[in-house]
Amino acid sequence: MASRFASFSEFYPFYLSEHSNRTSRRLHFIGSCGVLILFALAVVQARPWLLLAALLCGYGFAWVGHFFFEKNRPATFKYPFYSFAGDWVMFKDILTGKIKF
């Protein structure tokens, strides 16, 4: 299956269009914060099971945003690598004020 996008820079505007609902973006941001905290705890406390908790936290918050607020299917299912990168670029864009929180 050929990708619809030749690069991440082509994908990111599509990614943002799939995250137009402010509540969904907030849930993504909260989930990403949880991922960072759980990842740090996993490393500092040497508890690898927290990595699974981080994964569940990140995707859990994001998918609630998609299914209940955006009413769309997460891009993760079709574009897993670009979607993962998009999550972190959007996180950075929210932190820097480029995207409204």
Give the residue from 20, 30, 29, 32 showing the smallest Cα distance to 69: 20
- Helix (H, G, I), strand (E, B), or coil: what is residue 42? helix
Domain map (residue ranges) of the chain: 8-95
pLDDT, tens digit (0-9, with 9 covering 90-100), for 11-53:
999 999 999 999 999 999 999 999 999 999 999 999 999 999 9
Q: What pLDDT score was predicted for residue 1?
A: 46
Q: How confident is the model over 77-94, as pLDDT tens digits?
A: 999 999 999 999 999 999
pTM: 0.91
pLDDT at 2 over 60: no
Please enumerate in sequence order all residues whose Cβ is within 8 A of that of 60, keeping only pairs 6 or more positions apart, or say none: 31
Read off the DSSP letter of residue 18: T
CA 85 to chain centre: 8
CB 18 within 8 A of CB 75: yes
| Helix (H/G/I), strand (E/B), else coil: 91 | helix
Length reported for the chain: 101
